[in-house]
């Protein structure tokens, strides 16, 4: 019975991969966002507090992929607050660009305060509301109370940061009060995510989640924590790949500098002091590149270990709590493939660094040989000059 309760709260959508990655404390809840869109299939979705847009575009991805016909609205001033910090216009521009590119057919950005946006929506018109704005107790309560008349009678409200108890966050307190009065469910990972049924009418697809037994609820939390960890690990690997590309660019610059130095040495072979200085610069550049490469290598090793651990946790969770869920096995296989890509990429970076080191050492040795040849030629020229001078002096005396 517990296994049935658990797997009903998980679907193939839970294993989707987010297309949009941005800085966010919401990242580990992407699998649940996919699932609730699949389960609830809302007609209208509103998000209060969007910032870089990770959570909002995760919902939009599900709406688009499932072809739900949902109208989606993101409400934010895009100026920041005391908890998220204040930021410039570039954040809104990046969100607007992605929205225009991917979801403009059904998604709309409302740049205003939450209170100002109320007039755009009729009463009992919103099926799914995500509240993630200012996190002080009074602010969250005011947001909930102000938007409550806009909810349908079987609407669902999602609160983020229900498990944060610092910096004046009051979401945990408010959700604790509301959870006593209304059907609810709470995830504890990813800073906490609370699901509330404010009018008591639990939508049938959400009943396995809201009405789950204690054991089943723990298993559901474990599954989504493991899936969320995998999403976060994948995002970290993407970031490491970006850093690796930057490293490749730096190595290319050093290689170009070495090539330029060789050409300069050929054109200005008489300038020994300048050549020695250039050799010193090249050695320093090579050392910096090798040090940076070593740091990236260690970082990637750590990321690969994290991925190994995430995979192991996901496999254990799947075996214990949802062994018959074929979609989870598919995701584990995908993660193994990603691990292979990461290990192959690490080997490629190590090989490129070794090749670069050999190339730099050969270039330095070549320049040093050229300098030695120049010194030998100069010594020979001086000897010839001395003999000629001696012969001239001998002839003059006769």
Looking at the fold, whether 235 and 144 belong to one and the same domain comes out as: no
Domain shared by 393 and 268, yes or no = yes
The answer to whether position 221 is within a domain reads: no
Question: Is residue 362 very low, low, confident or very high in pLDDT (cuts 50, 70, 90)?
Answer: confident
- Quick one: pLDDT at residue 339? 80
Q: Residue 187 belongs to a domain with what CATH number?
A: 3.40.50.150
Give the separation between CA 47 and CA 31, rounded to whole angstroms: 17
Boundary of a domain, candidates 165, 185, 212: 212
Read off the pTM.
0.63
Residues 6 or more apart in contact with residue 121 via CB below 8 angstroms = 44, 46, 73, 150
Helix (H) or strand (E) holding 108: strand 107-111
* Residue % of the chain over a pLDDT of 70: 81
For the segment 106-112, the average pLDDT, to the nearest whole number, is 97
Higher pLDDT, 280 or 121: 121
Last residue of a domain, one of 158, 187, 212: 212
Domain assignment of residue 218, yes or no: no
Q: Which residues contact 251 (CB under 8 A, 6 or more apart)?
A: 289, 293, 352, 353, 356
Q: 367 in a domain, yes or no?
A: yes
Q: Which of 40-49, 151-160, 357-366 has the lowest mean pLDDT?
A: 357-366
Domain count, the chain: 2
Residue 229's pLDDT band, with cuts at 50, 70 and 90, is very high
What is the pLDDT at residue 392?
78
Query: Sorting pLDDT into bands at 50, 70 and 90, what band is 254?
Result: low
* Domain annotation covers residue 220: no
DSSP state of 150: G
Indicate whether 185 and 47 sit together in one domain. Answer: yes
- Residue (of 33, 27, 29, 28) closest to 13 by Cα position: 33
pLDDT, tens digit, 9 for 90 and up, residues 269-285: 556 666 677 677 777 77
Whether the pLDDT of residue 115 is over 80: the answer is yes
pLDDT (0 to 100) of residue 325? 60
Strand pairing category for 80-81 and 71-76:
unpaired
Using 50, 70 and 90 to split pLDDT, how confident is the model at 394? Answer: confident
Is 202 part of any domain? yes
Structural domain including 73 reads 2-212
Task: Select from 181, 212, 243 the last residue of a domain.
Answer: 212
314: confidence class by pLDDT, cuts 50, 70, 90: low
Same domain, 199 and 302: no
CATH of the domain at 315: 1.20.1050
Are both 233 and 349 inside the same structural domain?
A: yes
Task: Quote the pLDDT of residue 251.
Answer: 73
User: CA–CA separation, 199 vs 156, rounded Å?
Assistant: 9
Same domain, 200 and 241: no
Q: Is pLDDT of 291 > 60?
A: yes
Which whole-number Å values give the CA distances from 369 to 126, 190, 254, 267, 283, in the listed order? 78, 60, 21, 15, 16
Mean pLDDT across the chain, nearest whole number?
85
Strand partners, 196: 157, 184
Cα angle 183, 185, 190; round to 5: 155
pLDDT at 11: 92
DSSP per-residue letters across 30-67: HHHHHHHHHHH--SEEEEE--TT-HHHHHHHHHHHHHT
**Residue whose pair of structure tokens reads 């509330």 in the numeric block:** 196
Read off the pLDDT of residues 151-208 as tens digits, 9 standing for 90 and up: 999 999 999 999 998 888 999 999 999 999 999 999 999 999 999 999 999 999 999 9
User: Between 309 and 319, whose confidence is greater?
Assistant: 309
């Amino acid at each position: 019975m517990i296994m049935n309760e658990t797997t009903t709260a998980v679907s193939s959508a839970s294993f989707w991969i987010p297309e949009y990655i941005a800085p966010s404390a919401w990242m580990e809840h992407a699998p649940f966002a996919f699932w609730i869109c699949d389960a609830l299939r809302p007609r209208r979705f509103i998000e209060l507090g969007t910032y870089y847009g990770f959570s909002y575009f995760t919902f939009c991805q599900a709406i688009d992929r499932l072809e739900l016909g949902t109208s989606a609205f993101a409400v934010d001033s895009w100026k920041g607050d005391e908890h998220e910090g204040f930021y410039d216009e570039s954040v809104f521009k990046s969100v607007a660009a992605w929205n225009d590119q991917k979801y403009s057919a059904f998604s709309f950005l409302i740049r205003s305060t939450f209170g100002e946006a109320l007039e755009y929506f009729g009463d009992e018109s919103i099926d799914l509301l995500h509240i993630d704005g200012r996190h002080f107790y009074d602010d969250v309560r005011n947001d909930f109370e102000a938007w409550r008349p806009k909810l349908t009678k079987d609407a669902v409200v999602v609160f983020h940061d229900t498990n944060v108890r610092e910096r004046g966050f009051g979401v945990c307190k408010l959700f604790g009060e509301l959870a006593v009065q209304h059907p609810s469910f709470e995830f504890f990972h990813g800073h906490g995510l609370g699901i509330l049924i404010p009018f008591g009418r639990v939508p049938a697809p959400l009943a396995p989640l809201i009405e789950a037994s204690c054991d089943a609820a723990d298993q559901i939390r474990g599954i989504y924590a493991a899936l969320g960890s995998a999403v976060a690990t994948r995002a970290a690997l993407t970031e490491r790949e970006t850093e690796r590309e930057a490293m490749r660019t730096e190595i290319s610059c050093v290689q170009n500098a070495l090539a330029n130095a060789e050409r300069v040495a050929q054109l200005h072979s008489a300038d020994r002091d300048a050549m020695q200085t250039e050799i010193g610069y090249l050695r320093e550049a090579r050392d910096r590149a090798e040090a940076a490469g070593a740091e990236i290598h260690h970082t990637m090793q750590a990321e690969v270990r994290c991925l190994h651990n995430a995979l192991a946790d996901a496999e254990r969770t799947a075996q214990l709590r949802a062994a018959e869920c074929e979609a989870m096995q598919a995701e584990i296989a995908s993660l193994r493939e990603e691990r292979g890509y990461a290990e192959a990429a690490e080997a490629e970076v190590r090989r490129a660094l070794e090749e670069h080191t050999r190339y730099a050492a050969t270039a330095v040795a070549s320049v040093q040989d050229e300098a030695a040849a120049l010194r030998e030629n100069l010594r020979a020229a001086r000897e010839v000059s001395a003999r000629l001078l001696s012969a001239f002096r001998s002839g003059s005396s006769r």
